[in-house]
Amino acid sequence: MGPSIPVKVSVNGVPYERRVEPRLLLSDFLRHELGLTGTHVGCEHGVCGACTVLVDGEAVRSCLMLAVQVRDRDVMTVEGLAASGQDTLHPLQAAFRDAHGLQCGFCTPGILMTLIPFLEENPRPSEEEIRYAISGNLCRCTGYQNIVEATRLAADRAAQREGSTA
């Protein structure tokens, strides 16, 4: 086994310090070192997008990054989306539930983490834009239709909230 390297990282706002092998993937680090198993691994070659997390706010594939690359950075996983508590959901998560935007749920965390920065950038996306945004995330169950619907629902609700607070 190779030498271990210290990694200090913030994940979902919680600071962690671990020593890791240089070759340890970020996905394995999150799942097996930190026990954050909400991030799923579907292909380990960067195509399926299930392992998408945010690093400093940007969506990245955690199977294509090494744990040592997130030293001193902020990582956010699906576990960080909702405030803690069993029944609280982030508005995007709630929209996925309400529009039946998931079936087996395996690809879902990656899709949510892809959509978070997308909706920040583009709060009122068209269907085409949504489809393009998630075109790097594979889903075998839904045919994507309800994922698109759920995303639109989340955007509409956010716009309504904006409107009512403005």
Partner 1 sequence: MTAGRYFGQSIRRNEDARLLTGRALFVDDVHLDGMLHVAFLRSDFAHGTLRGVDCAAARARDGVVAVYSAEDLGDYWQPGPLLVPPPPIKGHVFHVATQVPLARHKVRHVGEPIAMIVAESRYVAEDALADIEVDLEPLEAVVDVERALAVDSPRIHEHLESNLAAHVVQQKGDYARARDDAAVVVARRFRYDRGASAPMENRGIVAHWDARAEELTLWDTTQAPIPIRNGLARLLGLMESQVRVVAPFIGGGFGPKIMMFYPEEVLLPWASMQLSVPLKWIEDRQESFYGTTQERGQVHDAEIAVTKDGTILGVRDVFLHDSGAYDPYGLTVPINSQCTLLGPYRVPNYYSEFTAVFTNKTIVTPVRGAGRQHGVFVMERLLDLAARKLGIDRVQIRKRNYLSPDEFPHDHAILFQDSAPLLYDSGDYLPSMEKAEELIGYRAFIEEEQPRLRAEGRHVGLGIVSYVEGTGIGPYEGARVTVEPSGRVRVATGVGTQGQGHFTAFAQIVAEVLDVDVTNVQVITGDTREFGWGTGTFASRGAVVAGSACYEAALRVRDKITKLAGEALEVAPDDIELSNGRAQVKGVPSRALELGELAVRANPLRGAVRPGTEPGLESTAYFGPARGSTANGVHAMIVEVDPETAMVEIKRYVVVHDCGHVINPLLVEAQVQGGVAHGIGNAFYEQLVYNEDGQLLNASFMDYLVPTSTDVPSVEMGHVVTPSPLNPLGVKGVGEAGAIPTGALFAQAVEDALRDLNVEVCEIPLSPNRLFDLMREAGASARG
- What is the contact surface with partner 1 in residues (CB under 8 A)? 1, 21, 23-24, 31-32, 35-45, 47-48, 50, 77-79, 81-82, 86-87, 89, 93, 96-98, 100, 102-109, 112, 130-132, 134-148
Rounded to the nearest whole angstrom, what is the least distance from the CB of residue 59 to partner 1 in the complex?
Answer: 15
Six-digit token string for 53: 């997390």
Closest distance of CB 134 from partner 1, Å = 5
CA 18 – CA 113 distance, rounded (Å): 24
**Shortest distance, position 130 Cβ to partner 1, whole Å:** 8
The nearer residue to partner 1, 100 or 124, going by C-beta atoms, is 100
Q: What is the nearest approach in angstroms of partner 1 to the Cβ of residue 166?
A: 28
- Comparing CB distances to partner 1, the nearer of 62 and 93 is 93
Give 9 or 41: the residue with its C-beta nearer to partner 1. 41
Q: Where do we find the tokens 């691994």?
A: 41
Secondary-structure breakdown of the chain: helix, strand, coil percentages, each rounded to the nearest 5: 40, 15, 45
Does residue 59 sit in helix, strand or coil? strand
* Nearest Cα to Cα of residue 46 among 65, 29, 71, 21: 65
Closest CA to 75 of 118, 156, 146, 12: 12
